[in-house]
Amino acid sequence: MPIQDHLRSILDTFSRRDGPRRRAYKPDDVSERLRNRILLLIRDLISGRWPTNRWNSPGDYTGEYWADMQNRLQHLYGRVKLSNDPSEREAWQDVLGFALSCPAPEFFDFLEQTFRAAPMWRLLHDENELVDAINELFRVENAPYQLTRCVKVEEPETLHVGSFATQGTVIRTVAWPKVIRSDDEVTTAEAIQPALSVLAAPHFEAANLEFRDALDEYRRGQYGDALTKCCSAFESVMKCLCRLNRWPFDDRKDTAGALLRIILAHSRLDGFFEQPLLLIATMRNRLSSSHGGGTAVRTVERHVAQYALASTAAAVLLLVHEVDS
């Protein structure tokens, strides 16, 4: 991996995305017991005590994990020493001391970087096994957070061996797990997660990233930006559906309204669905800063952004299932 890309993979983490928040936004909090549960899970995974393959253990990668995590977090924060305790000199002591006492946003950094740590590809056949386990800990502790699932795509690639060329495949990671807010368990389980699952398909890559960005902005308390990215994801999904079905549209000019009318015309959905589905775009146009607010101050409240996320997820599921059915 090029050095620049390696740095980007480290710097794309929670606290650097966690910009200024509105005064009414509730700060993140991670209990001591939740930290301990997550750290114990990671300890047992990297030591080989809890192998993901029941037939054999990949071995003990404890030292490699802590050394790589120390390196990653040093670059992330620009600090040689992570822990505030000068007696903690070994890599595992330094990172563990940091993880046990750092603010919640930095603990989420640690959590997100864990999936990119050097030995994880040997320890995990599927990163989402660890995602599901940590989400279970969030659920058990009633913590309003979830990790999004890792998304990978398999792409063709020409492999060169000496003077011979053969066609093979390469697996590319489209989206790494990120911590998002999960205030309403029913909405997350019945709308957000199913929508993310649908958007994991390779042809929805752009929409997948836009919807994850919307969840990220909501997590940070940037509700207007969350609303804007909800609409972007919705429009990307509709463009993708039109391409897949070869329905003519103008990629540069057609906005949500025109795209939705094209899809409805080729579906079994009644016309009255148009206005409810278009509300996502209307909210973006009226409330977000994407089109400029003029002299009016646009304020998007948290519950409005929450509605936009749920509505976008439901709209994506409705249209994708309707067109594919």
> What pLDDT was estimated at residue 186?
65
Of the listed ranges 33-42, 228-237, 294-303, the least confidently predicted one is 294-303
> What pLDDT was estimated at residue 59?
86
Is residue 23 over pLDDT 70?
Answer: no
- With cut-offs at 50, 70 and 90, classify the pLDDT of residue 325: low
Is residue 176 over pLDDT 50?
Answer: yes
> At CA 65, angle to CA 59 and CA 71, rounded to 5?
155
User: Which residues contact residue 171 at a Cβ distance below 8 angstroms, ignoring those fewer than 6 apart?
Assistant: 152, 153, 154, 155
Pairing of strands 151-161, 164-175: antiparallel
Please indicate whether residue 325 or residue 251 has the higher confidence score (pLDDT).
251
Mean pLDDT of 18-39: 73
> What pLDDT was estimated at residue 259?
94
Q: Give me the percent of the chain exceeding a pLDDT of 90.
A: 48
pLDDT averaged over the chain? 85
Q: Tell me how far apart the alpha carbons of residues 72 and 10 are, in angstroms, rounded to a whole number.
A: 6
> What pLDDT was estimated at residue 308?
92
Long-range interactions of 187-195: CB distance < 8 A, separation 24+: 187/306, 187/309, 187/310, 187/313, 188/146, 191/310, 191/313, 191/314, 191/317, 192/309, 192/310, 192/313, 193/146, 194/313, 194/317, 195/312, 195/313, 195/314, 195/316, 195/317
Is residue 244 over pLDDT 90?
Answer: yes
- With cut-offs at 50, 70 and 90, classify the pLDDT of residue 258: very high
Is the CB of residue 181 less than 8 Å from the CB of residue 219? yes
> What pLDDT was estimated at residue 15?
64
Please indicate whether residue 162 or residue 261 has the higher confidence score (pLDDT).
261
What angle, rounded to 10 degrees, do the helices at 256-265 and 223-245 form?
A: 40
Q: Tell me how far apart the alpha carbons of residues 160 and 141 are, in angstroms, rounded to a whole number.
A: 50
Is residue 222 over pLDDT 60?
Answer: yes
> What pLDDT was estimated at residue 87?
81
The backbone region for 180, taken as left when phi is positive above 0, alpha when psi lies in -120 to 50, beta otherwise, is: beta
pLDDT per position as a tens digit, 94-152: 999 999 999 999 999 999 999 999 999 888 888 899 999 999 999 999 898 999 989 88
Q: Tell me how far apart the alpha carbons of residues 29 and 320 are, in angstroms, rounded to a whole number.
A: 36
Q: Tell me how far apart the alpha carbons of residues 284 and 12 are, in angstroms, rounded to a whole number.
A: 26
- With cut-offs at 50, 70 and 90, classify the pLDDT of residue 22: very low
The partner residues of 172 in beta bridges, in order of sequence, read 153
Q: Which residue has the tokens 């103008």?
A: 250
Please indicate whether residue 53 or residue 66 has the higher confidence score (pLDDT).
66
Burial of 148 (0-12, 13-18, 19+ CB in 10 A): buried
The separation between the first and the last C-alpha atoms of the chain, rounded to the nearest angstrom, is: 41
Is residue 296 over pLDDT 70?
Answer: no
Give the chain's domains with CATH numbers.
Answer: 1-146 (no CATH), 180-325 (1.20.120)
pLDDT per position as a tens digit, 150-161: 988 887 777 777
Q: Tell me how far apart the alpha carbons of residues 310 and 192 are, in angstroms, rounded to a whole number.
A: 7
Please indicate whether residue 38 or residue 293 has the higher confidence score (pLDDT).
38
> What pLDDT was estimated at residue 138?
92
Mean pLDDT of 49-70: 85
**Percent composition of the chain: helix, strand, coil (DSSP 3-state, to 5):** 60, 10, 30
Burial of 187 (0-12, 13-18, 19+ CB in 10 A): middle
